[in-house]
Structure formats: C-alpha cells, structure tokens
C-alpha cells in the first residue's frame, strides 16, 4: 500500500518549489505538500530578484507555476515562520519540513562612511524596482534625487542588473512590469555616470558574459572600459571558459562608444573600496588600487577618489535565521548533513534545508533544482523508515486558525496575478506589479486554501 505523508516546504522560491515538485513526483509515496511563504505571492527571487527586463529568466515562473497546478499541493502565503508560527509548531502538524528561505539580506561593505545617506544596498534597490512589499515607494534617499554620478560595487550579476537599470532608457524599462512610481523616479533621475567598482581583474569577475553584452545593446549608453587591462590572446589560453567568455564580452564593451551618450558606464578594475567620503551625505568613494599576489589581494599603496553622490554595494546576499532553527552566523547558513538540519552536530529529525539558506547565495535559478532534489532524497529515505503518519490537513488548518493566520491560497495568488495584469492593461502594459501589502492581501483574499 502507498504510504501517505504531509510535508511542509517553507519558502516558495525556486528551491522550495523544486523541492515540492520532487516530493510530489515519487509514486511510491502519497505525499501532500503545503508550500508556506511569508509573502502573499509565490516564486521568491524569480518575482523579486530576477531583473524585470530579463523576461526569459522570468519565464521560469511559468514552469514553477505548473507545480502548483497539480493535486496534493497547496500554497499558504502571508504566513511567517518565526513570528506567526514557530518551527516547533510545524513539527506538530507535518511529518517533515523543508526550509528553503533563501538569502534576503544584502551584505554590507564594512568600511567607514557606509551609513551615510546615499548608500543603498543593491538588495534594497532591486526590491524597490521589483515592487517588493517590504520596500516603500519612497525609500530611496532624497540625496539621490540630485545625484549625477553613482558607484555600484561588485563584480556579480546583481551589480550589472543595478547598473543597467540605472542607465537604461526609461521607455525600455516601461515595457517591463515595474511599478509606475519606480518608472517615474527613474525618469526623473539625473544620473549620468555609473561607476562599476570591481576589486579584482577582468579575468576574475563573477559577471556572466550574456549580462555584460547587454550594455553593448544600449545605443545611448557609452561604456568606458580600458582594453589595455584585458588579457591578451596569449593569456586567454590559461583561463577557464567562464573567464574567456567574459573577456570576449569585455572586448566588445571596450569598443562600444556612443557620441553624446545619455549615460556612461565606467568599469574600474583592481579597485577595492576603502571609505565612503562625505559630510552629510555621499560625496565620493575612496578606492585602493590592488593587485593579485597568489590569489590574495594586496594594496599597491595608491588611493583614488571617485566623485559620486550615491553608492550601491552589490557584494552578495546573506541568509537570516528562521525562528529558533540552528544557524551558523559565520557563514549565514543553516548547518546540515545531506540536507538534514544539524543542531550542535546532531540531526534534528523531520527538519531539512534546501537552496541558498543551505549552500549560500550562488548559481543560477536552475542550480536550486539539483540542490532541492538532493535534500528530498534525504526526506524520502527518512520517511521510508518513519511510522505511519497521523498528520492531517485539518490539524494544519486548525493551527493556522488558532494563531489568527489567514493564508493567501494559490487561488488567492491568481487573484493578485489577474489584478496586476488588469492594472498593466489599463496603461497599455502587459502587467504592472502591485507593491502594497494591503492591496496584495485584498486581491489575495476571499479564497480558502485549496
């Protein structure tokens, strides 16, 4: 006889949904899955991290959506584990819980001046243009209204996303689902120069070549990249494919010149930020010139000042603790062995972890699939040896009701989805995202989990 179990997945981003899909796909079990998220909307970073002008990556959402269209799965949105409910509560009503809560915090630079008005974490900036309900429309500091030059720090794709949104013509961005207040603010921006500040060299950058090449498609944006810093053909031999592709893209960018550009992007390699300079707000970024010595960055002794009025650190994400679950602050992850959560080295039965909170913020969206499958293999191995389940839907729903929690169901999410499409159509767009908690809850209400 097929054995039935109930599993909760906490976090409705790609890792969580891939885990849910994997749990549903094993015919030797009859597993029901509740996917719980703190937000009223599913899809995590696909909705709130992938750049709005990257529709191909955004379309992953359609594949994720198919998981929710299957039987035996529910979405329970607007339910925060750690406040409304605790991990201990979930242990009571599910046979297993997979935590895939991602990495919601932007890392800081830990340099003097970082608190000055005008320093904005790339993570917050991305949340703002992605209509994340935690980021108020007016959150950008006033000082940025008059900024003409800004620095974006980092050599990853988030830095490129931020730089591109800052320089791209607003009519092109209006083709996306960005909220109107974001388009209005970007249209009023006076930023002319965006300085990408990169602490290593062209061959070490984490950018991907496809994202680099996008700057060459912007016909009103000039790129300032010193070709002399790029490896020669002979030096390319020693590089891996990632670096070689990047260098090819950078050569293209070094040749991309535009007369009378609307904006400029400057690539500053071998520049380690040391201080944000300013009295009342950002006036400049101080950078130390560096070189690599056996894979270690060493200062050459030269300091430089880049005149900017805004600084966007895009230096990676960090996960945050989930309720009282074990958490290793040194690496900002939940400790685990094969996806099983460890508490002081011991496996905590029934608790698992997947995605960025398990392995750190790296890879592309699809990397989370293998990661989730690996964790689910541990879940299934443990369930195979577990006693028969006593978990019921009624018990889970009673728990939610007893805490006054009214989850947004998948049908509720579809209500939000329709409202966004209608809002977009009203102004000739495919979709305009809704960013207010109240409106998300309003359109997501009136349905029960199904």
CA angle, residues 432, 214, 258, in degrees to nearest 5: 110
Cβ 19 to ligand NAP shortest distance, Å: 19
Q: Is 202 in the site for ligand NAP (CB under 6 A)?
A: no
Binding of ligand NAP at residue 333 (CB under 6 A)? no
Q: Are 52 and 177 a contacting pair, CB within 8 Å? A: yes
Nearer to ligand NAP among residue 253 and residue 380 (C-beta): 253
- Interatomic CA distance for residues 297 and 272, integer angstroms: 9
Name which of 57 and 445 has its Cβ closer to ligand NAP.
Answer: 57
Residue 408 binds ligand NAP (CB under 6 A): no
Q: Which is nearer to ligand NAP, 154 or 326 (CB)?
A: 154
Q: Is 113 in the site for ligand NAP (CB under 6 A)?
A: no
Among 227, 298, 331, 364, interactor with ligand NAP by CB under 6 A: 364
Applying CB under 6 A, does 250 fall inside the site for ligand NAP? Answer: no
Nearer to ligand NAP, 374 or 445 (CB): 374
Which is nearer to ligand NAP, 158 or 277 (by Cβ)? 158
**Displacement of CA 392 from its chain's centroid (Å):** 33
Residues 267-326 that bind ligand NAP (CB under 6 A): 273, 314-317
**Near ligand NAP by CB under 6 A: residue from 21, 67, 130, 157:** 157
* Cross-strand bridge partners of residue 265: 194, 223
Cα 212 from Cα 255, distance rounded (Å): 13
At residue 105, what are phi and psi to the nearest 5 degrees? -105, 135
Q: Is residue 153 near ligand NAP by the rule CB under 6 A?
A: yes
Give the residue closest to ligand NAP by C-beta.
Answer: 156
The nearest distance, CB 236 to ligand NAP, in angstroms, is 20
Q: How far is the CB of 11 from ligand NAP (least distance, A)?
A: 16
362 interacts with ligand NAP by CB under 6 A: yes
Q: 367-384 and 14-24 are packed helices; what angle lies between their axes, rounded to 10 degrees?
A: 40
Verify binding: residue 361, ligand NAP, rule CB under 6 A. Answer: yes
SS3 272: strand
> For residue 163, what are the CA distances in angstroms to 46, 149, 150, 266, 408?
19, 11, 9, 10, 35
Distance of CA 196 to the CA centre of its chain: 20
The residue within the footprint of ligand NAP, chosen from 34, 161, 177, 286 (CB under 6 A), is 161
Give the nearer residue to ligand NAP in terms of CB position, either 155 or 396.
155
Q: Closest CB to ligand NAP among 52 and 361?
A: 361
**CB 238 → ligand NAP: shortest distance, Å?**
18
* Distance of alpha carbon 75 from alpha carbon 79, whole angstroms: 10
Distance (Å, whole) CA 38 – CA 58: 21
Q: Could you tell me the smallest distance in angstroms from the CB atom of residue 315 to ligand NAP?
A: 4
CB of 298 to ligand NAP, least distance (A): 13
Give the span between the Cα atoms of 400 and 389, in whole angstroms.
20
For residue 118, the minimal CB distance to ligand NAP (Å) is: 17
CB within 8 A of 413, min separation 6: which ones? 40, 41, 42, 75, 77, 444
Note whether 112 binds ligand NAP by CB under 6 A: no
Is the dihedral angle over the CA atoms 37, 401, 447, 445 positive or is it negative? Answer: negative
Among 55, 112, 363, 366, binds ligand NAP (CB under 6 A): 363
Asked if residue 154 binds ligand NAP (CB under 6 A), the reply is yes
In contact, 306 and 285? CB cutoff 8 Å: yes
Cα(261)–Cα(293) distance, rounded to whole angstroms? Answer: 38
Q: Which helix (H) or strand (E) holds 276?
A: strand 271-277
Q: Which of 35, 73, 155, 396 binds ligand NAP (CB under 6 A)?
A: 155
Closer by beta carbon to ligand NAP, 122 or else 383: 122
Estimate the share of the chain in helix, then strand, then coil, as percent rounded to the nearest 5. 35, 25, 40
What residues make contact with ligand NAP under the rule CB under 6 A?
A: 54, 57, 109, 153-159, 161, 199-200, 206, 208, 211, 273, 314-317, 361-364
């Amino acid at each position: 006889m097929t054995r039935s179990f109930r599993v909760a997945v906490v976090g409705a981003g790609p890792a969580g949904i891939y885990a849910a899909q994997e749990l549903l796909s094993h015919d030797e079990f009859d597993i029901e899955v509740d996917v719980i998220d703190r937000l009223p909307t599913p899809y995590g970073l696909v909705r709130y991290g992938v750049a709005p002008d990257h529709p191909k990556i955004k379309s992953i959402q359609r594949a994720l959506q198919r998981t929710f269209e299957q039987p035996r799965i529910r979405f329970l949105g607007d339910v925060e584990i750690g406040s409304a409910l605790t991990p201990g509560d979930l242990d009571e009503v599910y046979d297993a819980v997979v935590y895939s809560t991602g990495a919601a915090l932007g890392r800081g630079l830990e340099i003097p001046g970082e608190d000055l008005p005008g320093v904005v974490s790339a993570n917050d900036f991305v949340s703002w243009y992605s209509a994340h309900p935690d980021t108020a429309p007016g959150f950008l500091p006033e000082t940025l209204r008059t900024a003409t030059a800004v620095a974006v720090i980092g050599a990853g794709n988030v830095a490129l996303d931020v730089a591109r949104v800052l320089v791209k013509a607003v009519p092109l961005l209006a083709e996306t689902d960005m909220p109107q207040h974001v388009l209005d603010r970007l249209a009023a921006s006076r930023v002319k120069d965006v300085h990408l500040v990169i602490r290593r060299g062209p061959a070490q950058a984490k950018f991907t070549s496809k994202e680099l090449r996008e700057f060459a498609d912007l016909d009103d944006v000039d790129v300032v990249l010193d070709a002399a810093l790029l490896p020669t053909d002979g030096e390319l031999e020693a590089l891996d494919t990632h670096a070689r592709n990047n260098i090819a893209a950078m050569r293209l960018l070094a040749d991309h010149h535009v007369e009378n550009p609307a904006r400029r992007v400057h690539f500053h390699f071998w520049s380690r930020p040391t201080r944000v300079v300013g009295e009342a707000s950002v006036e400049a970024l101080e950078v130390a010139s560096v070189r690599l010595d056996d894979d270690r960055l060493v200062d050459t002794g030269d300091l430089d000042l880049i005149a900017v009025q805004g600084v966007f650190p895009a230096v990676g994400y960090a996960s945050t603790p989930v309720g009282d679950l074990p958490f290793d602050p040194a690496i900002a992850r939940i400790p685990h062995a094969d996806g099983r959560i460890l508490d002081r080295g011991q496996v905590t039965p029934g608790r698992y972890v997947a995605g960025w909170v398990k392995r750190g913020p790296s890879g592309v969206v699809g990397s989370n699939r293998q990661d989730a499958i690996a964790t689910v293999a541990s879940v299934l191995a443990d369930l195979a040896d577990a006693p028969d389940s006593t978990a019921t839907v009624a018990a889970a729903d009673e728990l939610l009701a007893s805490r006054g929690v009214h989850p947004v169901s998948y049908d509720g999410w579809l209500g939000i989805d329709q409202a966004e499409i209608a809002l977009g159509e009203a102004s000739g767009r495919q979709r305009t995202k809704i960013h207010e908690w109240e409106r998300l809850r309003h359109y997501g209400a009136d349905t029960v989990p199904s």
